[in-house]
Amino acid sequence: MKEAIGEAMERGVLPKQQDLPNFTIEPPPQEEFGDFATNIAMVLARPMGKNPMQIANAIVQHLPPNDLVQKVEIAPPGFINFVLTDDWLHEAVKEAIERDEKFGHWDIGQGKKVQVEFVSANPTGPLQIGNARGGALGDAIANLLSAIGYKVEREYYINDVTMSTQVQNFGESLEARYLQLLGYDVPFPEEGYKGEYVVELAREIVNEYGNAFVELPPEERRRKFFELAREKIVAHHKSVLERFGIVYDNWVSEQWLYDSGRVARTIELLKQKGLTYEAEEALWMRTTDFGDLKDEVIVRRTGAPTYFASDIAYHLYKRERGYAFVVDVWGADHHGHVPRMHAALKALEIERDEEWLKVVIYQLVRLVKGGETVRLSKRAGEIVSLDDLLDWIGKDAARFFLLMRSADAHLDIDLDLAVKQSQENPVYYVQYAHARCCSIFREAEKRQHPALPEYRNADLRLLTDETERKLMKVIARFPELVKEAAEKFSPHLLTQFSIQVADRFHDFYERCRVLGEDVKLSAARLALVKATQVTLHNTLTLLGVSAPEAM
RNA sequence: GCGCCCGUAGCUCAGUCCGGAUAGAGCGCUGGCCUGCGGAGCCAGAGGUCCUGGGUUCAAGUCCCAGCGGGCGCGCCA
C-alpha cells in the first residue's frame, strides 16, 4: 500500500506528503464489499487537498502485483476494497488444526510475569453475585493474558484486618448469636450481619467449643470468634470458587501485611519521602500532588492505619514480586479508590502513566426478582450467594452469562428467568455446536469413513460454498480477537464471538453435508469442522466454560 | 455540588478507545422447515428520534461542549 502511494507520489500523480496519516485496513461491515477494506484515500483527502475517489484511483493504479489479491475495487466515498484469493482462509483452517489448543495463542508477553487480583472479599460472609462477576472476569482476563504469552498469577487478597469496622461488627454479630444459642438474652447489634449463615457459624462454634467462650472478656471473645469464623469462611470461599472453576496461586492476608510490619514500613517510607503531613491529629498523604482529587488519610486519629495505607503496602508487596504489570478487578463501588492508588504509585515512582497498575472496574450486578430490583446487603442478610447461582444455573451458564457484557455495562439478572429459562441461555447454543463437531468425528469413525484419514491434508480449495467461506472467515479472525480481548481486558468480545462461530457453523451444517460420497470434499469439510471445533474449544476455555464433546 | 459508568429494536445488550459504506446479536414476536452427519437446529419477516440540543468534519452511535435520565462513589468504611 505504502509502495503504491510512494510510487504515485514519485510520478507526480499524487502530491508529496512527508508522513502518512493513520489509516485502517479491516474487514468491511458488509461481506459483499470484500475481505478487507482501507480508508486511506479518505484520510489522505484533506492533506492532499484532492477528492478521495481520485486518490483511491491513483493508489490502485500503482498497487504492486500480489498473488493473494484477486480483485481490487473502489467504492464511494473512497474506500478501496480487496477481495483476496481464499488462500488466507485455508491457512487459517490449517493453522487451527495444526496448532490445536495453541490456536489463537501469541507470544506477546514473552513469558513476563503478571498478576491478576480479583474477588478479594471480606471474610464476613458468603460470596455473592457481584463477587461472581469479579470472579468470572478476573479469571477470564488471566486466561487471556496467559494466552498471549504472559506468565500469570491469580491472587486473592483477604481483607481480614481484625480492627476493621466490618470485622469488628461481624465479631459482635457472631458473639450475639453464640450467646443467644446458649440461652442468654442478649440483643443483636442493630447494624449487625443478619444472615442466617452467622447463626450457623455460631452453632458450629457451640458444637465444637460449647460454652468455653462465655467467660472470656468480650473483646477477646470477639477476636477469637472472628478468627474461627475467618478460617471457615475463607475455606468456604476457596471451595466455592473452585466449584466456579477458579484456582488461585496466592492468598494474601491483609492482617499479615500488618503482622509482618509491612504496613508500618510503608508509612515510614511515605514519611521519609516527604509525602505526608499531619493535620487534625491524623496523618495525611499528599495524593493531590499526583492527580488525586483530595488528600487522603493514611493514619487515623486513633493511630490505626487506614485501608488506603495497607493497600499501598500491598501494592508495594506486589511490586517486590517483580510483576511486569498487575491487574486489579474491582466493583464499581471501589472506583473512587482508583485515582488515589495511582497517585500513591506515582508518588513512589512505581509508575508514571498508570502503566503498571491496570484497574478493571465492573459495574454492579442488579438482580431482578418478581419484576423488582433486589437490594443486596450482607448485613441485612439478603444474599444471593455464588453457591445459589451455581445451584440454579451451573458453572458454565453462570460464567458465560456474566461475561456476555462489557465490564462497563450494568448487568441485570432476572433470577426467575435465569432459573426457569436456563435452557435458552446462549451457552447451550455454543456448546451444542462444539458437541456437534465432535459428534461428526465420532460418526466418521464409526462408519470408517474414507475421508477421515485424509482430512489433515485435504484440498481446502473444494470449500466453495458461501457458508463455508463465512465460517472460515470467522475462524481466521480468532487469533486477532484473542489479542484484542487480552489487551483490552475484555472477555466479552469472546462471548460475542463464540455465538457468531456457532451461528455460522450451524448454517454450514444445514447446507453442507460433511460425510458424503465425495471423499475429497468430505475430507475438506472434516478439516473445516475440526478447525471450528478447535476455535470453539479455545474460545470457551478462555472464558472458563467447558466445551463438552457430547451433551 | 464534584467525579466515574451507563442511556442503541418490546426486553437484555454489542458496536464508541482508533469517526467511514445499508447500526448488529440474543431473547421475545409473526410465518415456514423434521426419510439425512445430533431439531438443544435452520430459513424468512416485523421491529430503531442510536437520550436531547449545539459544535467539529467530505463523513458522527462514535470526537468536543451544554443539558436530561439512571447507577455508583465523594468516610479518620473497606
Whether A330 CB is under 7 Å from strand B: no
Helix (H) or strand (E) holding A26: strand A25-26
Q: Which residue is nearest to nucleotide B25 (CA to C1')?
A: A496
* pLDDT cut 90: percent of chain A above it: 70
Query: Strand B nucleotides below 7 A of a protein CB?
Result: 2-7, 12-15, 17-22, 24-28, 36-38, 40-43, 57-59, 70-78
Q: Which residue is nearest to nucleotide B41 (CA to C1')?
A: A506
Q: How far apart are CA A263 and CA A259, in angstroms?
A: 8
Q: Which residue is nearest to nucleotide B13 (CA to C1')?
A: A405
Residue A493: nearest nucleotide (C-alpha to C1'): B14
A37 pLDDT exceeds 80? yes
**Three-state secondary structure of A127-186:** CEHHHHHHHHHHHHHHHHHHHCCCEEEEEEEECCCCCCHHHHHHHHHHHHHHHHHCCCCC
Whether A52 CB is under 7 Å from strand B: yes
Whether A294 CB is under 7 Å from strand B: yes
CA atom of A304 to C1′ atom of B69, Å: 42
CA atom of A84 to C1′ atom of B39, Å: 36
Please give the grid coordinates belonging to residue A255.
Answer: 492482617
- DSSP SS3 for A285: strand
Neighbours of A430 (CB within 10 A): 27
Q: Which residue is nearest to nucleotide B70 (CA to C1')?
A: A410
Residue A421: nearest nucleotide (C-alpha to C1'): B27
What confidence score (pLDDT) does residue A62 get? 82
Q: How far apart are CA A128 and CA A375, in angstroms?
A: 12
A373 pLDDT exceeds 90? no
* pLDDT cut 70: percent of chain A above it: 93
CA atom of A294 to C1′ atom of B2, Å: 11
Summarize pLDDT for A471-520 with one digit per residue, the tens.
999 999 999 999 999 999 999 999 999 999 999 999 999 999 999 999 99
Kindly indicate the confidence band of residue A383, based on its pLDDT and cuts at 50, 70 and 90: low
Whether A504 CB is under 7 Å from strand B: no
